[in-house]
C-alpha cells in the first residue's frame, strides 16, 4: 500500500504564516503514530486566508484543511486527518470550495496541484505538450497561432503579443546585414513584480516554474532566439531558488540547451537578479540593468523588438504572458480565444489584497464585473465596513469608487472609465481611508522611484507632493487644485515612460471621485457677534 500523500505549500505566502512548522509537525506526528505518510511541498492554491492550507489525497479527491498551524496537527490526526476526517478546519474537497471552483484556471492549472520541481509530475499533468506541438511548426506558424489566440501582454500595456513576436521574427540586428535576419535574438521575461497588491508572478514561479520555462522556450522557437533571461526582483528568494533548480533539471533532461527534445534547436535560459529599483520594471530600464548599467529608461524609438538587449532584437514579456503560451499550443489558439470578451481574450489572474476578507488569486476569463470579484470572491472587507475605493493596476492605477464597480474586467472597458487593469492587482480600502493621503502617496512614490532621466517625472512628482499639501491645508484651494491638474497634464504627456506618465491616474481619480478629502482641514471660525 502506497504512502498517504499530504500536501503543504512551500509558497512564500504560506511560509510567512508557518507552513514549514506545520509540515514538520505533520512529519513528526505521522512518525509518532506509525502512519505511512509522505509530505509533498506544493504551490499555494491562492486562497491565502486559508494558509497554511493542508491537503490530504483521498479516494474522493483532495480534502483541504486550513488554516493549519503546527499546534493543530495532533488534533487533526485524532480526527483522522489521513482519511479526510471531520474537523472544524476541514474545508471539504479543495476543488469544490466556492472561491476555487468558479475559477477558470489556464495559466495556473497546475499551481498547487504538483510538486513544483518534479519534472515528471509536470509532464504527467500535460506539461510540455505545448512545446512538443510547437516543435512541429515553423516559426511563422508559431507566431501566427499566438496572434490568432488574441493573447495580449499581461504586464500593463496589453500590447498584442503576436505583433511583438512577429516584429522580432522579422527584425535585423546590429550585427546582421541589411537583408538577413539577426544572428542573435533574445527572450527576456520581466519578473520584476513590484506593483502593490500583486503576487501572481511570484506565485507561478514558486508553484509551477516549468510553465514559465516552457512558454519562454516556445517564444525562442517562434522568433529564432537562442538565449533567454528571467529578470527577477531580488526580494523573491524562494522563486530564485525554484527557477534555478527547474532550469538545471530542464537542461539536464533535454528541455533546454543545445538539442531541445531531439530537434536540434537551441535555447538557453538564466536568471538575473534585479537590485530593488521599481523603475526596472519598465522594459528598457530592465534591459539596461541586465547589461550591467544603471537602471534608466531608454529613448524610444528604436523599440526593444528592433534594438533591445545588447543592441539585438528582443522579445520582452512578463511572467503571465509567457505562462499563457503553453496552453495555446497544448489546446489550440481557438480554445484560448474562446475565453474573454471583446479584444480581451483568455484569462487574467486577479489578485485581491488590502482590506479584503478573502484575499488571494482568482484566475478568470475577462468579462466578470469588478463588483462580482470584490464580493462573490473577496467577500467584502475584512473590517466589515463598506468598500469605499479600490486601486486596480498597482500604485499607478486609478482609485475606483463604488459607482464604477459594475465595470467588466476588460482592457477597453477600464480605459473608458479612466482606469487600467495593469498586472491585475487590486487593493481594497474601506470607508475610513483618507484619499488625499493616498493621492499624496502616489506622488511621493513617483518621486522616490523616478530614475531621474526626465524633468516631468523627477521634478513634477516632487512639486506634486508640495501642491497636494497646500491644497489640503485649505488655503487658496481652487488655485492649488488647478495647479495640480495642470501639473498632472504635464507629467502625463511629457514623461518619457509610464512611471511619470501614469502617476496622475491615482492622483486625478482621487481628486475627481473624492474631492471632500482634499478639503478636510476646518477653516478658522468667524468671530461671534
Q: Which residues pair with 238 in a beta bridge?
A: none
Q: Which of 184, 274, 198, 199 is nearest to 230 (CA)?
A: 274
Indicate whether 159 and 252 sit together in one domain: yes
Partners of 314 in the beta sheet?
Answer: 186
86 CB-contact burial (10 Å; exposed 0-12 / middle 13-18 / buried 19+) = exposed
Whether 10 maps to a domain, the answer reads: yes
Q: Per-residue pLDDT tens for 231-243? A: 999 999 999 999 9
Backbone angles phi, psi at 425, to 5 degrees: -85, 135
CATH number reported for the structural domain that contains residue 27 in this entry: 3.40.30.10
Write down the pLDDT at residue 102. Answer: 93
Q: 328: Cβ–Cβ under 8 A, 6 or more apart, which residues?
A: 130, 145, 146, 149, 151, 335, 336
DSSP state of 377: I
Four-CA torsion 272, 114, 79, 4, nearest 10 degrees: -120
Beta pairing, strands 387-392 & 90-93? unpaired
Closest CA to 41 of 5, 91, 83: 5
Mean pLDDT of 355-365: 96
Note the pLDDT of residue 458: 86
- CATH, residue 403: 3.10.20.600
Collapsing DSSP to helix, strand or coil, 199 comes out as: coil
Residue 106 lies in a domain: no
Q: Give the pLDDT confidence score for residue 178 in this predicted structure.
A: 43
Identify the residue whose cell numbers are 500583486: 198
3-state secondary structure of 290: helix
Q: Tell me the per-residue pLDDT of 205-227, one tens digit each, with 9 for 90 and over.
A: 999 999 999 999 999 999 999 99
Over residues 145-171, mean pLDDT? 91
Whether the per-residue pLDDT at 202 is higher than 50: the answer is: yes
Secondary structure string (H, E, C) spanning 86-113:
CCCCEEEEHHHCHHHHCCCCCCCCCCCC
- Give the phi and the psi of residue 31 in degrees, each rounded to 5: -65, -40
- Distance between CA atoms of 459 and 438, rounded to whole angstroms? 19
For the whole model, what pTM was predicted? Answer: 0.92
Domain that holds residue 62: 4-101
The model's pLDDT over 407-445, given as tens digits with 9 standing for 90+, comes to: 999 999 998 998 888 889 999 999 999 999 998 988 888
Q: Report the pLDDT averaged over residues 178-193.
A: 80
Q: Within its chain, how far is the Cα of 56 from the centroid?
A: 28
Provide mean pLDDT across the span 328-342. 95
The sheet with strand 90-93 has its strands ordered as 37-40, 4-7, 54-58, 61-65, 90-93
Pair (332, 351) in one structural domain: no
Domain C-terminal end among 309, 337, 365: 337
- Whether 347 and 440 share a structural domain: no
Question: Which CATH number do you get for residue 237?
Answer: 3.40.50.11540
Model confidence at 173: pLDDT above 80: no
Amino acid at each position: 500500500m502506497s504512502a498517504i500523500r499530504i500536501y503543504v505549500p512551500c509558497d512564500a505566502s504560506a511560509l510567512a504564516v508557518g507552513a514549514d512548522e506545520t509540515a514538520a509537525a505533520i512529519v513528526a506526528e505521522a512518525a509518532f503514530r506509525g502512519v505511512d505518510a509522505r509530505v509533498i511541498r506544493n504551490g499555494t492554491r491562492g486562497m491565502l486566508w486559508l494558509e497554511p492550507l493542508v491537503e490530504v489525497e483521498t479516494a474522493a479527491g483532495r480534502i483541504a484543511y486550513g488554516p493549519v498551524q503546527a499546534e493543530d496537527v495532533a488534533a487533526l490526526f485524532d480526527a483522522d486527518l489521513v482519511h479526510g476526517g471531520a474537523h472544524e478546519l476541514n474545508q471539504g474537497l479543495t476543488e469544490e470550495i466556492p472561491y476555487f471552483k468558479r475559477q477558470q484556471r489556464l495559466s495556473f492549472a497546475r499551481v498547487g496541484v504538483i510538486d513544483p520541481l518534479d519534472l515528471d509530475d509536470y509532464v504527467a499533468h500535460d506539461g510540455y505538450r505545448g512545446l512538443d506541438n510547437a516543435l512541429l511548426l515553423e516559426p511563422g506558424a508559431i507566431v501566427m497561432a499566438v496572434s490568432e489566440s488574441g493573447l495580449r501582454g499581461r504586464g500593463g500595456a496589453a500590447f498584442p503579443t503576436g505583433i511583438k513576436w512577429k516584429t522580432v521574427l522579422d527584425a535585423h540586428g546590429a550585427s546582421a546585414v541589411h537583408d538577413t535576419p539577426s544572428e542573435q535574438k533574445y527572450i527576456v521575461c520581466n519578473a520584476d513584480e513590484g506593483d502593490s497588491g500583486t503576487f501572481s508572478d511570484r506565485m507561478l514561479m514558486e508553484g509551477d516554474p516549468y510553465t514559465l520555462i516552457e512558454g519562454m522556450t516556445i517564444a525562442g522557437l517562434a522568433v529564432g532566439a537562442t538565449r533567454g533571461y528571467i529578470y527577477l526582483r531580488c526580494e523573491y528568494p524562494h522563486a530564485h531558488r525554484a527557477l534555478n533548480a527547474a532550469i538545471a533539471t530542464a537542461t539536464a533532461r533535454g528541455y533546454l540547451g543545445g538539442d531541445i527534445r531531439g530537434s536540434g534547436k537551441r535555447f538557453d535560459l538564466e536568471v538575473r537578479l534585479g537590485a530593488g529599483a521599481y523603475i526596472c520594471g519598465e522594459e528598457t530600464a530592465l534591459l539596461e540593468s541586465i547589461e550591467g548599467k544603471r537602471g534608466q529608461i531608454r529613448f524610444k524609438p528604436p523599440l526593444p523588438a528592433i534594438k533591445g538587449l545588447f543592441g539585438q532584437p528582443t522579445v520582452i514579456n512578463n511572467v503571465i504572458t509567457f505562462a499563457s503560451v503553453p496552453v495555446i499550443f497544448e489546446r489550440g489558439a481557438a480554445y484560448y480565444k474562446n475565453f474573454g470578451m471583446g479584444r480581451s481574450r483568455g484569462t487574467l489572474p486577479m489578485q485581491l489584497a488590502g482590506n479584503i476578507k478573502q484575499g488571494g488569486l482568482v484566475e478568470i476569463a475577462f468579462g466578470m464585473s469588478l463588483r462580482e470579484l470584490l464580493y462573490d470572491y473577496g467577500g467584502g472587507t475584512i473590517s466589515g465596513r463598506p468598500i469605499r475605493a479600490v486601486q486596480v493596476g498597482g500604485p499607478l492605477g486609478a482609485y475606483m469608487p463604488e459607482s464604477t464597480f459594475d465595470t467588466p474586467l476588460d482592457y477597453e472597458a477600464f480605459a473608458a472609465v479612466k482606469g487600467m487593469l495593469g498586472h491585475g492587482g487590486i487593493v481594497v480600502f474601506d470607508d475610513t481611508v483618507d484619499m488625499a493621503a493616498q493621492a499624496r502617496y502616489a506622488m511621493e512614490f513617483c518621486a522616490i522611484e523616478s530614475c531621474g532621466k526626465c524633468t516631468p517625472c523627477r521634478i513634477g512628482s516632487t512639486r506634486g507632493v508640495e501642491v497636494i499639501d497646500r491644497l489640503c491645508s485649505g488655503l487658496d484651494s481652487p488655485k492649488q487644485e488647478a495647479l495640480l491638474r495642470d501639473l498632472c497634464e504635464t507629467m502625463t504627456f511629457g514623461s518619457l515612460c509610464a512611471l511619470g506618465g501614469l502617476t496622475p491616474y491615482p492622483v486625478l481619480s482621487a481628486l475627481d471621485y473624492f474631492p471632500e478629502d482634499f478639503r478636510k482641514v476646518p477653516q478658522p471660525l468667524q468671530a461671534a457677534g
